[in-house]
């Protein structure tokens, strides 16, 4: 390959194609959005073409997929996505997106899986593995810290190393380590001052050296700041096309010796590998005529939409006091029809806006779904409220009062199913919401209907958390998210019990935005957003601040009941059926970011038996959280999700589950030692069905070596005295002073908190500054490598007088 050819490979040919090198038989491949279906532009690809794509299955959005808590099921979605990608001659589908839902207001939350990195990582890995099993590539996005749409192309996300390591990176990390996505997309924003598209630490040190990523790093569309530093930092491919301008700059930089040709070689090689590895799948899809089973994919989309629907509340109603849901299909007739209320039943919201918009192969409405199941006569529909996207449809010309009054009459004495939620304009790529409310017109409708209906069932649609302070008006309440092209029939399936809802919340539904500390810094200003809340997003925040929530992370009801029994922990390697418990484990010292094996070392396994005690078959998610109970050196969330598994059981049946707890699961990211550290002390391992329904709480005593903090010039007297090497030296050197100080506890505590370099500069000390410096050098010499190189922020050695 010539220098020019290599450079040419590192940027797009047009909006969606990479460049070919015909001379070498390197074909021109196409990449395309993602993430919940294929958005393959139907016409000229030399310009953007939102809303103009070939039909493809619009699967439920990520908000729904994350809520399934079911990697196996989502693996099937991945395989279907991969099949459609290959069938359409596309080499890479741009997804999944695994950014954290930092705020309910992020306009793109519907495209993201969870507020928790473990959940997003597991579901994301299933998608990637499924897609790539079809011989085409996935593209993990948007790396990294892209958690808002406001000013997304310029904003500087300022985030601590700990929050990065514990919250914003681990979903990417897990997916890279577990299933090697063939490509990964850097985000638009800056991270701690550096453009994600040219950050060598993110793109090379962390991604490649620590996690072992082998694929292609591609820019988000238009994310390149400066191409040459970007390439040097690890950004292989620029998209879309740059008109050859940046290729020329790369050539020039190599010629002038500003860029090592080896860097370009590596990028070109990675891109060539990607192109060639997709060739076989694309060729066989072409030979097979490029089809896929659209009916089967629609059926899968329908099942997943139902499985990802979260039943939040299901109160007893009527004389028999049975739960409001599911409804018995046979009980609706022409005389007693089901009252189906809400324009969303006729004008579905099933996906969000922006680059992910799919042209569906077909589109089910809830209205059709109910009519199909119950017969036309047994369904009475009233739109109930206005929706801009339904303009022109029958009834939409009426006033809000008349629309509501008609709906109330339809619902009077009947079982009412209401669909309410976020209008389309409220959720899009490119901008954020400013509040969590659904339109007042809809809330008033729910309240009015609940006054007259025999039972009020409310289904919420929308891609992110909404205010549910009106939920007292609902006997049953479920959130269906944005359920894709079969979302409408899935709603009918769930309500009528053809399919049990078995989703659990992948995001906290807070009572108020103000209960989330991230809101203090969302979306930032002047192109800066400060992640001042650190690791405290979602349930970590509301739990730490002891806030009530509307519905907690992990919550989800279904049509049967489950219990947990025999919850206990065992040492790894224990076999056999005895239930000897373990209540103490021994962890290792600090583990480096690159040491995957050390992190994955299993310390204990949690075992439990789950029983379906209800009358119907059903699914349940067993969740394991770990929290520290003793005092900690750092602020920690009361509990964090460390494992989960979804079980399906016939009525009356039981099954055992087993979840491992690893060294990493007990660790936090220790900024001074830049490593994963386990603190010794007491922990609680909690097992249950949501972050706030944890019937089994097991104490766990953890032994671990204390991380040795290196001594610095500004280490406090207390830190010196507690140091294994420095302590004895200081005791000796400062013997007289210490004896005096120890006579009075308060004085001693006060002095212990002072940096020793300041202390020794004061009159009347046994040590003077030069002697102190010598003592530090002695301690450091004995300490070996576990010392900090610098002098610390207060590290000047003041003159004695």
Q: Which residues bind ligand BGC (CB under 6 A)?
A: 33-34, 94, 141, 220-221, 355
Strand, helix or coil at 185? strand
Q: Which of 33, 116, 151, 220 is catalytic?
A: 220
Strands (DSSP E) contained in 338-475 are 338-341, 359-360, 379-382, 415-421, 455-461
Least distance in angstroms from the C-beta of 797 to ligand BGC: 51
**Assigned token pair, 743:** 């006579």
User: How crowded is residue 600: how many other Cβ atoms within 10 Å of its Cβ?
Assistant: 14
Least distance in angstroms from the C-beta of 88 to ligand BGC: 16
Q: Which is nearer to ligand BGC, 355 or 450 (CB)?
A: 355
Q: Which is nearer to ligand BGC, 41 or 347 (CB)?
A: 41
Q: Are 154 and 190 in contact (CB under 8 A)?
A: yes
Query: What residues contact residue 462 under an 8 Å CB cut-off, 6+ apart?
Result: 110, 349, 421, 422, 426, 427, 438, 479, 481, 482
Name the residue among 481, 543, 496 with its Cα closest to residue 312: 481
Cis amide leading into 96 (omega within 30): yes
Q: Which residues pair with 420 in a beta bridge?
A: 460
Q: Which is nearer to ligand BGC, 94 or 610 (CB)?
A: 94
Q: Which is nearer to ligand BGC, 50 or 771 (CB)?
A: 50
**Assigned token pair, 722:** 């507690």
Residue whose token pair is 């219990």: 563
Q: Which is nearer to ligand BGC, 221 or 536 (CB)?
A: 221
Q: Are 458 and 446 in contact (CB under 8 A)?
A: yes
Q: Which is nearer to ligand BGC, 36 or 346 (CB)?
A: 36
Name the residue among 681, 666, 561 with its Cα closest to residue 613: 561
Cα distances from 736 to residues 403, 741, 753, in angstroms, run 87, 9, 18
**Assigned token pair, 494:** 């769930």
Q: Which is nearer to ligand BGC, 45 or 686 (CB)?
A: 45
- Find the DSSP H helices in 334-456: 366-374, 400-411, 440-452
Least distance in angstroms from the C-beta of 248 to ligand BGC: 24
Least distance in angstroms from the C-beta of 138 to ligand BGC: 12
Residue 220 annotated among the catalytic residues of the structure: yes
Strand, helix or coil at 539? helix
Name the residue among 667, 696, 704 with its Cα closest to residue 581: 696
Q: Which is nearer to ligand BGC, 195 or 642 (CB)?
A: 195
DSSP 279-317: HHHHHHHHHTTS---HHHHHHHHHHHHHHT-EEEEE-EE
Least distance in angstroms from the C-beta of 222 to ligand BGC: 7
Least distance in angstroms from the C-beta of 127 to ligand BGC: 15
Least distance in angstroms from the C-beta of 14 to ligand BGC: 13
Q: How many residues belong to the chain? A: 801
632, burial (CB in 10 Å: exposed 0-12, middle 13-18, buried 19+): exposed
User: How crowded is residue 406: how many other Cβ atoms within 10 Å of its Cβ?
Assistant: 16
The torsion angles phi and psi of 502, rounded to 5 degrees, stand at -140, 30
Q: Which is nearer to ligand BGC, 108 or 122 (CB)?
A: 108
Least distance in angstroms from the C-beta of 427 to ligand BGC: 15
Cα distances from 355 to residues 39, 77, 635, in angstroms, run 8, 19, 38
Least distance in angstroms from the C-beta of 321 to ligand BGC: 48
Least distance in angstroms from the C-beta of 221 to ligand BGC: 4
Return the H-helix or E-strand segment holding 218. strand 216-219
Using CB positions, name the residue nearest to ligand BGC.
355
Name the residue among 26, 158, 150, 40 with its Cα closest to residue 93: 40
Q: Which is nearer to ligand BGC, 112 or 559 (CB)?
A: 112
269, burial (CB in 10 Å: exposed 0-12, middle 13-18, buried 19+): middle
List residues with catalytic annotation. Answer: 220
């Amino acid at each position: 390959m010539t220098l020019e050819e290599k450079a040419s490979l590192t940027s797009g040919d047009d909006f969606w194609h990479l460049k070919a090198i015909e001379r070498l038989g390197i074909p021109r491949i196409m990449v395309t959005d993602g993430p919940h279906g294929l958005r393959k532009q139907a016409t000229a690809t030399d310009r953007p073409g939102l809303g103009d794509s070939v039909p493809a299955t619009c699967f439920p959005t990520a908000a729904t997929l994350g809520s399934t808590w079911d990697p196996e099921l989502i693996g099937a979605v991945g395989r279907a996505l991969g099949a459609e990608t290959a069938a359409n001659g596309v080499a890479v589908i741009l997804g999944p997106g695994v950014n954290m839902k930092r705020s309910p207001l992020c306009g793109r939350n519907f495209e993201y899986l969870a507020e928790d990195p473990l959940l997003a990582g597991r579901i994301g890995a299933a998608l990637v593995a499924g897609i790539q099993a079809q011989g085409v590539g996935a593209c993990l996005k948007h790396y990294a810290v892209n958690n808002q749409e406001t000013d997304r192309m310029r904003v500087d996300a300022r985030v601590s190393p700990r929050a990065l390591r514990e919250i914003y990176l681990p979903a990417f990390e897990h997916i890279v380590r577990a299933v090697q996505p063939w490509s990964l997309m850097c985000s638009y924003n800056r991270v701690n001052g550096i453009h994600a598209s040219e950050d060598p630490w993110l793109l090379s040190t962390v991604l490649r050296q620590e996690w072992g990523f082998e694929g292609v790093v591609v820019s988000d569309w238009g994310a390149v700041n400066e191409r040459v530093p970007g390439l040097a930092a690890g950004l292989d491919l620029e998209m879309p096309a740059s008109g050859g301008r940046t290729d020329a700059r790369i050539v020039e930089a190599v010629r002038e010796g500003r860029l090592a040709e080896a860097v370009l070689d590596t990028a070109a090689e990675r891109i060539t590998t990607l192109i060639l590895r997709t060739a076989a799948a694309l060729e066989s899809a072409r030979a097979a005529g490029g089809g896929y089973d659209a009916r089967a994919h629609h059926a899968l989309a329908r099942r997943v939409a139902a499985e990802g629907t979260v039943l939040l509340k299901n109160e007893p109603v009527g004389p028999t006091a049975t739960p409001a849901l599911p409804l018995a299909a046979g009980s609706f007739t022409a005389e007693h029809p089901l009252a189906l209320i809400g324009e969303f039943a006729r004008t579905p919201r099933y996906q969000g806006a922006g680059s992910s918009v799919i042209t569906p192969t077909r589109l089910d409405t809830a209205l059709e779904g109910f009519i199909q199941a119950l017969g036309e006569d047994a369904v009475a529909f009233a739109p109930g409220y206005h929706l801009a996207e339904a303009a022109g449809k029958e009834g939409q010309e009426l006033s809000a009062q008349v629309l509501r009054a008609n709906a109330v009459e339809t619902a009077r004495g009947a079982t009412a199913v209401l669909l309410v939620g976020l209008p389309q304009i409220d959720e899009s790529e490119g901008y954020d919401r400013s509040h969590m409310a659904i339109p007042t017109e809809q809330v008033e409708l729910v309240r009015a209907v609940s006054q007259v209906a025999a039972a009020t069932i409310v289904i919420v649609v929308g891609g992110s958390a909404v205010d549910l302070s009106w939920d007292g008006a609902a006997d049953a309440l479920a959130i269906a998210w944005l359920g894709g092209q079969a979302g409408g029939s899935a709603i009918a399936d769930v309500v009528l019990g053809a399919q049990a809802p078995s989703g659990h919340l992948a995001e906290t539904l807070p009572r108020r935005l103000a209960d989330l500390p991230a809101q203090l810094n969302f979306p930032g200003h002047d192109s800066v957003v400060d992640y001042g809340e650190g690791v405290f997003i979602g349930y970590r925040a509301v739990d730490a601040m002891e806030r009530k929530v509307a519905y907690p992370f992990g919550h989800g009801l279904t049509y049967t009941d489950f219990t947990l029994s025999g919850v206990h922990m065992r040492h790894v390697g224990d076999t056999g059926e005895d239930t000897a418990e373990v209540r103490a484990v021994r962890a290792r010292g600090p583990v480096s970011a690159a040491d995957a094996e050390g992190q994955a070392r299993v310390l204990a396994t949690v075992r439990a038996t789950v029983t379906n005690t209800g009358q119907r078959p059903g699914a349940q998610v067993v969740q394991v959280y770990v929290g520290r109970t003793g005092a900690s050196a750092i602020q920690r969330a009361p509990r964090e999700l460390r494992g989960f598994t979804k079980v399906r059981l016939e009525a009356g049946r039981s099954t055992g589950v087993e979840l491992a707890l690893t060294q990493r699961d007990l660790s936090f990211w220790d900024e001074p030692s830049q490593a994963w550290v386990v603190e010794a002390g007491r922990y609680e391992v909690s097992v249950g069905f949501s972050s706030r329904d944890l019937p089994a709480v097991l104490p766990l005593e953890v032994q671990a070596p204390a991380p040795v903090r290196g001594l610095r010039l500004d280490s406090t007297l207390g830190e010196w005295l507690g140091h294994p090497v420095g302590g004895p030296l200081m005791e000796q050197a400062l013997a007289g002073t210490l004896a005096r100080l120890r006579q009075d506890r308060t004085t001693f505590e006060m002095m212990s908190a002072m940096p020793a370099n300041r202390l020794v500069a004061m009159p009347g000390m046994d040590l003077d500054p030069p002697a102190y410096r010598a003592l530090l050098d002695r301690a450091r010499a004995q300490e070996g490598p576990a010392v900090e190189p610098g002098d610390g922020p207060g590290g000047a050695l003041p003159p004695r007088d």
